[in-house]
Amino acid sequence: MALHESFLSHAGGRWLKLGLLLILASIAAYAWHDPAAGPNGGTWLGYTLGTIGALLIVWLTLLGVRKRSYRSNLGTVKGWTSAHVWLGLALIVVGTLHTGWQFGLNIHTLAWLLMMLVIVSGIWGVVSYVRYPTQITANRGAIPAQEMLREVAELDRQLLLLAAELGRETHERTLASINRTRIGGGFWRQVLGVRQGQAPAEGLISRLREELNKPAFAGSAPQMGRGAGDGGDSGQTMMFMASAFVSAEQDAKQKETRRKLLDVLSRKKALVTQLNEDITRRARMSVWLYLHVPLTIGLLAALLAHILSVFLYW
C-alpha cells in the first residue's frame, strides 16, 4: 500500500470518522441553536466552536514539532498526519460556523481567512502527496537523484575526452556546454519546470543527424565562430559540431568520434531532461509547504490577536 493511502486511511479511517463526526455535530448544533442576536462567535455555541477550533489549530500545528522529534513515542507520525488532514478539513466547518457567517474588514475575518488559506494549501499538499510520488517513481525508477547526477557527470567526462580529440574549437564548445549545464535551478525554475528553450533541443539533434547523413552539405556549412551563440545550451554546441562534422574533410576515425560525441550528447540531454522533470515533480510535491507553513505561523499570530482582542473588549 502506498504511503499516501496509508496516512489517509490510517487506523481504519479513525481520524476520518472523527472528523466527520465533528462536522456533523457542529452542523447539527448550529442548526438547532437559535440565539437571540443571531448566530455569532459570542454565543455559547460560538464560544464552544471557537474553543474547539483554536485548540485544533494549535494541536494540528504541533505536527510540525512532532514530526521533527524522532524520539517521541506520542503516537506515530503517520497517525498525527492522518489526524492533521482529517481534523484540519473538519476545521473548515467548525471555524466557519464559529463566525456565524459574520464577515468584515477586521482581524477576526482575517484570522478566518488565514485559516482557510492554510487549509486550502493543506488540501493542495494532500493532492500533491497523492499525485507526485507515483509520477516521480514512474519517471525515475528506483535510481536516486544523486546517482543520476553522477551519471550525468560521467557523460560529461566522456564528452570532454571525445571533444579533446576533435581540436580546440570543438572542445571549447563542449566545455562551454558542460559549464552551462544546470540541473534544477531557482525556485520558479524548479516549480514551473524547465521550458523547452532552456533544455537541449530534441528537434535540433534530429536536424543535425539529418545533416550528418547528407553528404551534399559537406563543406558548405559555415563554421561557427567562438562565442557566436549567446543562448547557451548544448543544442548550440551540437549545431556547431554538426556543421563542423558535415564541413569536415577529416578521416573516418574523426568522423566516428564525432558520431560518438553526438550520441553521448543525446544521452546526456535525455538524462538531464529526466532529472529536471524529477526535480520539478519533487518541487511541486513540496511547494505547497512554502505557503502552508508561513501561513500557519501567521495564523497563530492572528488567532492570538483575535482571542485576546475579543476578551479585552468583551
Partner 1 sequence: MAIVIRQLRGSGNNQTISDKRIDRPQVTIGRGADQDILVNDPRVAWEHAEVRAGGLGGHNIEVLREAGPVLLNGAPSRGSKLRDGDVVTLGGSEIVFRLFEGQAYLEVREAPRVKDAQAAQLRAQSKLSLEEVGVSRRRWSWILFVLLLLITLLLPLASRFLPVVSAQIRHAPLVPSDAVWLSGPMSAAHESFGRDCEACHLEAFEMTPDRACLACHATVAHHDDDVALLESSGIEDYRCADCHHEHDGDEGLVLAHPSLCVDCHALPGSKMPGSGLQPVSDFDGGHPQFSPTVWRLDPQGQREAVSLALQPGLREPSALIFPHDLHLDADGVEDRAGDAQLLDCQSCHEYQAGEVSFQAVDFEQHCQYCHSLEFEPSDPGREVPHGNTQAVLDDLRGYYARQVLQGTEQPPLTLPRGPRGRQRSVVLDEAERNTLLRKADGLARDKIDETIRVRLCAKCHTIGPAPQEGGADWDVEPFRQRAVWFEAARFDHGHHQTEGCESCHAASTSESADEVLLPGIDDCTGCHAGNASRRGRIRSLCIDCHGFHLAGEALMHGAARASSGGSAAVP
Residues in the interface with partner 1 (CB under 8 A) total 70
The gap from C-alpha 11 to its chain's centroid, in whole angstroms, comes to 28
Contacts of 49 (CB under 8 A, 6+ apart): 26, 29, 30, 41, 94, 95, 97, 98
- Return the closest-CA partner of residue 228 out of 163, 176, 165: 176
Tell me the C-alpha distance between 207 and 87, whole Å: 56
Q: How far apart are CA 108 and CA 94, in angstroms?
A: 15
Q: Give the span between the Cα atoms of 63 and 39, in whole angstroms.
A: 32
- CB closer to partner 1, 123 vs 305: 305
The nearer residue to partner 1, 178 or 212, going by C-beta atoms, is 178
Interface residues for partner 1 in 105-134 (CB under 8 A)? 106-108, 110
State which of residues 77, 116, 192, 300 lies at the interface with partner 1 (CB under 8 A).
300
> Shortest gap between Cβ of 248 and partner 1 (angstroms)?
19
DSSP letter assigned to residue 228: -
Q: Does 260 sit near partner 1 (CB under 8 A)?
A: no
SS3 70: coil
- The three cell numbers of residue 122 are 493543506
State which of positions 6-35 bind partner 1 (CB under 8 A): 34-35
279 touches partner 1 (CB under 8 A)? yes
Report the nearest approach of partner 1 to the CB of residue 252 (Å): 23
Calculate ∠ Cα 126-128-130, nearest 5°: 70
Looking at 122-130, 157-165, 215-223, 247-255, which segment touches partner 1 (CB under 8 A)?
157-165
Residue 172 contacts partner 1 per CB under 8 A: yes
* Complex with partner 1: residue 168 or 214, whichever CB lies closer: 168
> Which secondary structure element, helix H or strand E, spans residue 73, and what is its range?
none
Site for partner 1 in 58-97 (CB under 8 A): none
Q: According to CB under 8 A, which one of 16, 163, 248, 265 is a site residue for partner 1?
A: 163
Angle in degrees, CA 20, 25, 27, rounded to 5: 95
- Interacting residue ranges for partner 1, rule: CB under 8 A: 34-38, 40-42, 102, 104, 106-108, 110, 145, 149-150, 152-154, 156-157, 160-161, 163-164, 168, 171-172, 175-176, 178-179, 181-187, 190-191, 226-227, 279, 282-283, 286-287, 289-290, 293-298, 300-302, 304-306, 308-314
